[in-house]
Structure 1
Amino acid sequence: MRSRGSSNRLSNPGGGSAFRSRISALVFAMFATMATVYVAGRMWQEAESRVYLIKELDRRTGQGHSSVSVSETLKIVACKEQLKKLSAIEKDLAAAKQQGFVSKEHSGNDATPSKKRLLAVVGIITTFGRKKNRDAIRKAWMQSGAALKKLEEEKGIVVRFVIGKSSNRGDRFDREIRDENSQTNDFIILDDVEAPEERSKKIKSFFARAVESWDAQFYVKVNDDVYVNIDALGAKLSAHLDKPRVYMGCMKSGEVFSEPNHKWYEPDWWKFGDAKSYFRHASGEIYAISRALAQFISINKPILQVYAHDDVSAGSWFIGLDVTHLNEAKFCCNSWSTGSVCAAV
């Protein structure tokens, strides 16, 4: 015979399972609550950290966005780098304008702000074996020594002989020029080969060297068989300081000769059209160009076309540019009159 207690336990077999289920649910609820509190705390901390980081990034970058991704941050940095580069380019452009590509007076931004800009640099084109010509020029109009320096200081005109180097570098011809220059100090010695067929390249190199070496309003090319009236030259140049791009000389044109045996043969005759006539250009005895044009030659020297004759070559460099061609009768050296700039000798 079983007792009542035993009978009750046997008669309600699911009671213990329900009790255990209630215990498990309570424990699970406790753990869930704790997990929820933990996760909420972590999320709150992360949210606070994110807000702090965003505010800090906004403060450092100056951007007011509510959120800034890594890619956006990189874009901001790249943009700032581009702005720096753009600023540098704008400075270079301003410097180029200051150097004469636009009409602008000499200002304190130049490398030598306290030094007055010269009026002209005159290059006398000479060659080997013509020392007598050079000595005659020194005595007649160029001056030498202290007088040459005085010409530069008082009238703002620099005068130099221009010559290249022998194809056999360092030979007797180069040594003679080097010795002569050591006594007179009045040469521009170019790296170009000194040869008749290289004359046009030599003129191009002279303008490039001169504009890089001296800050002047004008650059003048003269042959070494020409007498120059320095005062008249200075007066003519000074009358055109208001023009930014000037090509001044005894302007001419003429026939292009295609016969190889002709004295003035032009190998590129076919480039001048069926009429075979040269464009307007200054006679080669003497002509002047303004600073902006000399700079144009210096910058574009490698790609400027040269022809058989240096005066034609120089004229071709300014075709297509906004240049004032000044036909000045006083630059025509075949006749001498009062106020003439030059005379052929």
Structure 2
Amino acid sequence: MGLLQLRGKTDRLSLLLAKERHSQAYLGCMKKGPVFTDPKLKWYEPLSYLLGSEYFLHAYGPLYALSADVVASLVALRNNKYNEDVTIGAWLLAMNVNFENNRRLCERKYTPTFIAVLDIPKCSGLCNPETRILELHRQEMCSNGSTLPLDDKSLSLA
């Protein structure tokens, strides 16, 4: 798993990850866009000239998942020159993995089917997590009742 400061429903995440999928899977909220070249910006890329003008497809937000086969292939390839989400995305381009875009991993608010919440574009992941986690967990959607609607087939193991 990526940076797992999970602000969501871990049981939903477990169900999602338990689904059968490609042995080399990369699961997350996928995006691509302009490379940050301004040193004043939070996500500035000092080696932006190596990336070109646009990032390649990569997962962003509060979490992403990599299959065990993918992790085993990446262990020796560590690179600290880019933000970790972009580094993972770059590695996986060369590995012919299955990119699985699942927006429930980066909801902007609690919904009946969310798995994780993020505050992009204000922050990477969750702004002021010590305060926001308490606020979010006070919401009824997060703190009470069953986590899955009875008719939600999208998270089932079948």
Please indicate, yes or no, whether the TM-score normalized by the shorter chain is above 0.5: yes
Normalised by the shorter chain, which TM-score bucket?
Answer: 0.5 to 0.7
Q: Secondary structure at the match of 2:33?
A: strand
Number of the residue aligned with 1:312: 86
Native 8 Å contact 1:250 1:287 kept in 2: yes
Give deviations 1:47-71, integer Å, cap 9, x for gaps. xxxxxxxxxxxxxxxxxxxxxxxxx
Following TM superposition, the consecutive aligned residue runs of length 4 or more in structure 1 with deviations greater than 6 angstroms are none
Q: Does 1:222 align with 2:9?
A: no
Hey, what does 1:251 align to over in structure 2? 30
Shift of 1:292: 0.3
Q: Secondary structure at the match of 1:227?
A: coil
- 1:235 corresponds to which of 6, 10, 15: 15
- TM-score by length of structure 2 reads 0.68
The question of whether the paired residues in 2 share the 8 Å contact of 1:305 and 1:316 is answered with no
- In the alignment, does 2:48 pair up with 1:269? yes
- SS of 1:342's partner is coil
Within a 5 Å distance, the mapping from 1:42-57 to structure 2 comes to none
**Cross-structure match for 1:326:** 100
CA-CA distance at 1:223 after TM superposition = 4.2
- Aligned: 1:339 with 2:120: no
What TM-score does the superposition give when structure 1 sets the normalisation length?
A: 0.33
Provide the rounded CA distance (Å) in 1 between the counterparts of 2:97 and 2:79.
18
Calculate percent identity across the aligned residue pairs: 28
Structure 2: distance between partners of 1:335 and 1:278: 26
Aligned residue pair count: 119
Q: 1:22-41 maps to which residues of 2 (within 5 A)?
A: none
Gaps of 5+ in 1: 1-219
Residues 115-264 of structure 1 mapped to structure 2, 5 A cutoff = 220-224=1-5, 226-239=6-19, 241-264=20-43
> Is the 8 Å Cα contact of residues 62 and 117 (structure 2) preserved in structure 1?
no
Paired letter, 1:230: T
Tell me the amino acid that sits aligned with residue 238 of structure 1: A
Partners of 1:336 and 1:279 lie apart in 2 by 29
Which residue, out of 40, 64, 81, partners 1:287? 64
**Larger CA Rg, structure 1 vs 2:** 1
- Post-superposition offset of 1:334: 2.2
Between 1 and 2, higher relative CO (CA 8 Å, sep ≥ 6) is seen in: 2
Provide the aligned C-alpha RMSD in A.
1.7
Q: Aligned partners of 2:32, 2:110: CA distance in 1, in Å? A: 21
Task: Report the CA distance between 1:330 and its aligned residue.
Answer: 0.8
CA distance in 1, matches of 2:81, 2:108: 24
The CA distance in 2 between the partners of 1:271 and 1:332, in whole Å, is: 28
Query: 1:295, 1:222 → 2: CA distance?
Result: 17
**Aligned partners of 2:48 and 2:61: how far apart in 1?**
19
Compute the displacement of 1:284 (Å): 4.0
Q: Which has the higher strand share?
A: 1
